[in-house]
Amino acid sequence: MLPLQGIKVIDVTTNISGPTLTMILADLGAEVIKIERPGSGDEARKMAPIVHDDGTYFININRNKKSVVLDLKLQESLDIMYEMIADADVFVENFRLGKADKLGLGFERLKEYNDRLIYCSLSAYGQNGPDRFKAGYDAILQAETGLISITGSTELSRIPVSILDQGSGIWGALGVVTAILQRTKTEEGVKVDTSLFETGVFWSNYHLLSTILTNENPKKLGSSHASFAPYGAFHTKKSPVMIGISNDRLFKKLCDVLGKSSWITDVRYASNENRVKYRDELNKEVQLILLHNSADEWITIFNEAGVPASKVQSMQDVFKHPQTMSNNMVIKNEHPTNGNTFVTRIPITFNQSSFPIRTGSPILGEHTEEVLSQLGKSQQLTKE
């Protein structure tokens, strides 16, 4: 039996953040009924690259869900929603703040139909503050929360994954699961809130708190680390490697491997504090030595010596990586219209068992008839 089996979730989210949240709940066993607009459905269906009918974003984060088409601008569709809510455990939305209330789907309204309902709102900027009504986009929030200011080296760079969309989805899922646990004690529903902005501030915690302490903004360090040296990516004879030296013990191991025992007593490098201070000089010396061998040769040497290091892998490398395969992180999934696709499983196991991908992402409206018939309704009610 899956942990959330028996939990029913009504999902009106779109794009990435909300669907990531409900994907986690679905993978953990919840019945997730995804409400989509007529005609086009979730905007993520058309986010490139497209497989056959749907984008890879949509395919990955909408598995294990049911798709029901409803036009929420119609009173008939709202009435159907209210009937579904009466029998649901969780409702999740990621509208721009205030839109759910305008649609008749706000927390206070839905409580009238189900006082045990766990209502999760995933917004861009949070429930308070002057920007709370603004729409949110991952890259914009990366800039707003300072992440872009510390990412990359000389050029401005965004973190090239939807880290705030997916991160806020993870926080939202944790909030929902916690609320489900709390409800077993209180028998009452609760409103769970999270946002991209709050997630961005939380991710930047180390840099933010250091700035408060020193009154200085962090420098862009590329692959390096503000607190440790040598720490970062270095070129070799063939392809780069990443080295992470975070204490004196590991630095001694690196010195032994590189044939530089003199660095251990060199006043510039003897302590981590000084190594950070003389980072540029140290990195140049390490770089010159690493150019003598290939990445594969160095990784073999580092692994034998216990020096933390890795080749900088491409996505093709990651797909074929023994760890990816051994941990079954990428799963082949059959789809009725998209053919054979792949999805990444959530990185949680219970007793060494991962949670199954029970069904692929749904065809638009695939489950409308099934869900509405359970309510004694006709699918015609969803059509204008």
Which residues, listed in sequence order, are joined to residue 34 by a DSSP beta bridge?
11, 67
- What CA–CA distance (Å, rounded) separates 323 from 310? 13
Backbone angles phi, psi at 234, to 5 degrees: -130, 145
In this structure, are strands 190-195 and 231-234 parallel, antiparallel, or unpaired? unpaired
Backbone angles phi, psi at 219, to 5 degrees: -90, 150
Q: Is 233 left (phi over 0), alpha (psi -120 to 50) or beta?
A: beta
- What CA–CA distance (Å, rounded) separates 352 from 82? 40
Choosing from 115, 165, 248, 256, the catalytic residue is 165
With b for 16 or more beta-carbon neighbours within 10 A and e for fewer, the 214-234 pattern comes to eeeebebbeebeeebbbbbeb
Cβ atoms of 277 and 227 within 8 Å: the answer is no
In this structure, are strands 309-311 and 118-123 parallel, antiparallel, or unpaired? unpaired
In the residue annotation, 42 being an active-site residue is answered as no
The residues assigned a catalytic role are: 165
